[in-house]
Amino acid sequence: MVSRKLRCVVCGRVFYEGQGIKISIAGKDLHFHSKSCALKFFKSLILYIDQKELERAVKATISEYEERLKELEEKSQKKIEAL
């Protein structure tokens, strides 16, 4: 089976399908050869987003992760108590 060659949208490096990072967003498939290229892209992308929308998205994301951490802590405490 022949693998497709992809090009990183940030640095232009060519790599084979199955390597790198692929993200589908806004109806487009974005290919990055490394996590550092993906991070560069998203740092730049944030600058184009409306600040009010960005604030809302940041708050929602923080809440999501705080909830996950709280659930993990509760599960951890239950295991300790069970011992």
Q: Tell me which amino acid residue 81 is.
A: E
Q: Give the pLDDT of residue 11.
A: 96
Cβ atoms of residues 7 and 17 within 8 Å: no
Q: If you count DSSP H runs as helices and E runs as strands, how many of each does the chain have, helices first?
A: 2, 4
pLDDT of residue 53: 94
Tell me, which fold does domain 1-48 have in CATH?
A: Ribosomal Protein L24e; Chain: T; (2.30.170)
Query: Is 0.85 surpassed by the pTM of this model?
Result: no
Partnered with residue 28 across adjacent β-strands are 25
**If pLDDT is split at 50, 70 and 90, which confidence band does 63 have?**
very high
Where exactly are the structural domains of the chain? 1-48, 49-83
Provide the pLDDT confidence category of residue 5 given band limits of 50, 70 and 90: very high
